[in-house]
A and B are shown apart, each in its own frame.
Chain A
């Protein structure tokens, strides 16, 4: 994909975001953000489905849309999400565009990995005998 086509693709995802929204009764709903520049992404996970909400710059929002589309259409497993290296996200978005703004480019991926880890930890806590209420209390602490 040449730079012009990639730019058009990114701007299209920014203007017509895919998989944006909230999943009812999500297994995890995890926020992430760059307070310095105001980018915010919240990722919701439920049974392998991903939705996202957010505000911020063109790149951070386009990246969230592109990542959510990939995870949902390719039915990526938790292992595959956690194994996805930041470099792969930079390459996906276009190194010439994304490399200078790694915070924006990688916010969605980092937040999604955080959501996956939250779900996995919650499962471990449940297996150890904690109730949903106790887990919620632990997370508030």
Chain B
């Protein structure tokens, strides 16, 4: 039984470049027992899945599953393939990612999956919160699936990932940069809150030339779903001067929030060359002699 919540428009009507990358809550309801569909929940909150998840969904932990335990890097191809197979994912499985914080972590997982060039990826529009607010079921029992047979290709960091040296070059060329952190972080006022511990950066501010476009502005607050393409174009193109043909680098603190913006620009607006700088402020804000703007 669904509850009365703010209505959302059909995904197909919103003018996205690749509307098929999103699925609605009703689509998930209709397909969650389909053996060729696998739901993956990825949250910031490490225990949220255990408090209840969409029936049939399995958990992806962005820390332990996607990040190498030693290097600051993502897991190897072998390890990633074992992970996906352990979730019962086959070559032709449609993978639907969803999670807390308006899919912040789901799009981060999506971006990592795309580093490995995984196909058939979708994101549940509105994420976990929309599902819950509609009164749809959340369960605590853990599903089990037979080992999958997906073959994962070698990770390709060249297309959608930016490293420090590339960002430095991008700055020199006056390339387009999007800082998706809060305005306070962008202005260097909030490296940490007053009396709160510093979280990993010695300097505050932003990378020279970066525009401040907080990631959450791509979301309709009342529904937790992505804004229509027309509103997204106003935000990114009209108000901030980005163009589809631009090379764009997005960053935040560790590359998680900026993966959300990468997703929006790439799949919803059809930008061709967007990279996520996962080193982000925890790298740049600690670099000796890295140039910083602080208004």
Q: Which of A7-15, A44-52, A64-72 lies at the binding interface?
A: A7-15
Q: How far is the CA of A58 from the CA of B44 in the complex (A)?
A: 10
Q: How far is the CA of A7 from the CA of B46 in the complex (A)?
A: 11
| CB contacts between A and B, total, < 8 Å | 52
The 0/1 profile, CB within 8 Å of A marked 1, for residues 251-269 of chain B is 0011000000000000000
Q: How far is the CA of A34 from the CA of B198 in the complex (A)?
A: 8
Q: Once the chains bind, are A104 and B46 in contact (CB under 8 Å)?
A: yes
Q: How far is the CA of A34 from the CA of B193 in the complex (A)?
A: 9
Distance of A122 from chain B, by nearest CB (Å): 15
Q: Once the chains bind, are A59 and B46 in contact (CB under 8 Å)?
A: yes
The 0/1 profile, CB within 8 Å of B marked 1, for residues 1-45 of chain A is 000000100110010000000000000001111111100000000
Distance of A117 from chain B, by nearest CB (Å): 13
Q: Say which residue of A30, A57, A110 sits within 8 Å of B45 (CB atoms).
A: A57
Known A34-B199, A100-B64, A110-B197; judge A58-B192 contact (CB<8 A). no
Tell yes or no: B78 within 8 A of A by CB: no
Q: Once the chains bind, are A31 and B63 in contact (CB under 8 Å)?
A: no
Tell yes or no: B139 within 8 A of A by CB: no
Q: How far is the CA of A57 from the CA of B50 in the complex (A)?
A: 13
Instruction: Find chain B residues with CB under 8 A from A100 CB.
Output: 46, 61, 63-64
Tell yes or no: A97 within 8 A of B by CB: yes
- CB-nearest residue of chain A to B281: A36
Which 10 pairs from chain A and chain B are nearest by CB?
A58-B47, A57-B45, A100-B63, A33-B196, A100-B64, A101-B46, A7-B50, A36-B253, A58-B45, A59-B46
